[in-house]
Amino acid sequence: MAVKIFNGFAGLGGNSMLWQEHQVIAVEENEKIAAVYKKLHPDHEVIVDDAYKYFKNNHEQFDFAWFSPPCQKHSRMMKATRHKVADYPDFRLYELIVFLENFYKGGWIVENVVPYYKPLIQPTKKVGRHLFWASFDIYAEEVKQPKGFITKSNLRGKQEMMDWLGMQFDEVIYYKGNHCPVQVLRNCVHPSVGKQILDSYQKGIVVQQQLFGAIA
């Protein structure tokens, strides 16, 4: 069954590479990243905007919503690095989850990293390096990461990551002043995980319809 999907904080859209047949609206604030997303997903509508604001104003039109807010301020790298990075975590992550739990009627999922602190809201599931908060049960297995995932930092690493994710593009994008062409690819959720999660949501809907039908 085709559904209307909001893909918030879309990045390059690793998560959405295998979402065929659905109507997808992707919101990404970085113009260069959004342009590559459009090349990789010509059938998706891509909007350059703030995903928090866009979703708050338009949430009623979507059946399913995926969010991948930036993870840098939650990542264990914040504490592992030798550089001076002490900073406040970005708790809009939790504002978003509370908003979804209380105001959004569709199916939803929020993705982030395993943080360096105890999550303020208990996640639904951990899959590999990702934590997920969701409105449905998730059945997904991680896809083994390529060797040297964290340390890849040159154009060869970029090609290896593109091969792993099944996406190809020529542009070299530096994410938020980071001098590594691989970071924007490391940000991606593997397409297989994105597909397994959308399938989990859809299976949950079918089970609900069967139960509802059995009771009616």
Ligand X SMILES: C[S@@+](CC[C@H](N)C(=O)[O-])C[C@H]1O[C@@H](n2cnc3c(N)ncnc32)[C@H](O)[C@@H]1O
> Three-state DSSP class for 177?
helix
Q: How far is the CB of 137 from ligand X (least distance, A)?
A: 20
Q: How far is the CB of 5 from ligand X (least distance, A)?
A: 12
What's the DSSP call for residue 49? S
Dihedral angle of Cα 116, 86, 109, 56, to the nearest 10 degrees? 150
Q: Which of residues 40-59 bind ligand X (CB under 6 A)?
A: 50-52
Q: Are 65 and 99 in contact (CB under 8 A)?
A: no
Nearer to ligand X, 70 or 107 (CB): 70
User: Binding-site residue total for ligand X (CB under 6 A)?
Assistant: 21
Phi, psi of 115 (to 5 degrees): -80, 170
Using CB under 6 A as the binding rule, whether residue 145 contacts ligand X is answered as no
Which member of 3, 5, 24, 27 binds ligand X (CB under 6 A)?
Answer: 27
Residue with tokens 């938020």: 176
125-127 and 130-134 beta bridge pairing: antiparallel
Q: How far is the CB of 73 from ligand X (least distance, A)?
A: 11
Q: How far is the CB of 182 from ligand X (least distance, A)?
A: 13
Binding site residues, ligand X, CB under 6 A = 9-15, 27-30, 33, 50-52, 68, 70-71, 187-189
